[in-house]
Amino acid sequence: METEEYGEIMKTIKGFHGLTRNCLMVLTEKFPKIQKETLYSILSLEYQRHMKHRFEKSPSSINKMYDLYEKAITNGEDSGVIIRLSLENKIAPCLAAKLILLKKYEDVLNDESVLQTNVSQYLRDTSLIDDKVLAYEIFLCTLYDDQYSHIVEVMRTSVGQQYEIVINRKLRELGLAFRDEEWLRKLGYDKTPDFKLDIPIMIDGLVIHWIESKAVFGDVESHTEYIKNQYSSYWNRFGPGLVIYWFGYMKCITETTSKNLMIKDKIPENIQQLE
């Protein structure tokens, strides 16, 4: 993706006020030629960065959100109170719900670790919440929040695994010997790529020793973080490798990327096996 087109998408995201699921609808209408999964990934990356700066679990934030919730319930407002509060305070519905749960059960579960564990369980299974009104409000948040809901977490994990299976099958079709991440960790490696090839392959003149699957869009910031926290360790230990950003990437990242790294958005067809 060209930088200019990415900039237009980001401009639309930053200018939108509302739920991210509605923002995605706007993006798909405005950029019909771009894959929906790509737009969602770009939106998700930007929104999560925004939440890192905006969301806080300080006592004042917790008390404020809980007081607003209690006032709305006391006034008999219609269902969807927490969702409306999340929009007014510009945080994700499930994060707003978490603040309310932390306050609701702080006296009952006075141990911090127990409180955090139980709140996480309540977000995953609202039937555990003894307050029926609050339980329904939290349940609505899990339905409308397409970024921080536990349902979304499960879906992201599943999608990531599906793309790893695609690579696994391709390597087997080519008759290539390889070790997966689980096997490498058993050997004691702390940072491991998804696939380490026993015998390297060659793609476009570059000898490839490992492959990393990323079911996300590769923008400059996330790619830079991956290099720092993952890729640099891989190529220092194993040599050059291939990274597949299945939902596309900004073309400019290939210009600044080390020659030890090849960037693609699908499995290359011109794979040469080495003797």
Task: Work out the number of other CB atoms within 10 angstroms of the CB of residue 212.
Answer: 21
Task: Work out the number of other CB atoms within 10 angstroms of the CB of residue 33.
Answer: 5
Give the pLDDT confidence score for residue 121 in this predicted structure: 92
Same domain, yes or no, for 144 and 162? no
Same domain, yes or no, for 201 and 260? yes
Same domain, yes or no, for 187 and 90? no
How does residue 273 score in pLDDT terms, banded at 50, 70 and 90? confident
| CB-based burial, 220-236: b 16+ in 10 Å, e otherwise | eebbeebbeeebebbbe
211: left (phi over 0), alpha (psi -120 to 50) or beta: beta
Q: Specify the DSSP class assigned to residue 109.
A: S
Q: How far apart, in whole angstroms, are the C-alpha atoms of residue 61 and residue 17?
A: 21
Domain count for the chain, please give it: 3
Phi and psi, residue 106, nearest 5°: -65, -30
Phi and psi, residue 99, nearest 5°: -60, -45
Same domain, yes or no, for 267 and 163? yes
pLDDT digits (tens, 9 = 90+) for 153-185: 999 999 999 999 999 999 999 999 998 877 777
Beta strand 261-264 with 271-273: parallel, antiparallel or unpaired?
unpaired
Give the pLDDT confidence score for residue 109 in this predicted structure: 59
Same domain, yes or no, for 64 and 107? yes
Same domain, yes or no, for 213 and 256? yes
Same domain, yes or no, for 38 and 68? no
Q: CA-CA distances (angstroms) from residue 151 to 25, 90, 98, 122, 125?
A: 20, 21, 15, 13, 11
Write down the mean pLDDT value for the chain.
Answer: 91
Amino acid at 60: S
Flag whether pLDDT at 36 surpasses 90. Answer: yes
Q: Which of 128, 148, 168 is the last residue of a domain?
A: 148
Amino acid at 104: K
C-alpha 238: how far from chain center:
27
Q: Which of 148, 181, 203 is the last residue of a domain?
A: 148
Range of the domain at 239: 157-273
Q: CA-CA distances (angstroms) from residue 79 to 72, 76, 83, 139, 151?
A: 10, 9, 9, 11, 21
C-alpha 273: how far from chain center:
34
**Domain at 163, CATH number:** 3.40.1350
Same domain, yes or no, for 33 and 78? no
Same domain, yes or no, for 122 and 74? yes
Same domain, yes or no, for 161 and 240? yes
Q: Which of 96, 113, 148 is the last residue of a domain?
A: 148
Helices (H) and strands (E) in the chain, counts: 13, 6
pLDDT digits (tens, 9 = 90+) for 212-255: 999 999 999 999 999 999 999 999 989 999 999 999 999 999 88
Same domain, yes or no, for 167 and 262? yes
How does residue 145 score in pLDDT terms, banded at 50, 70 and 90? very high
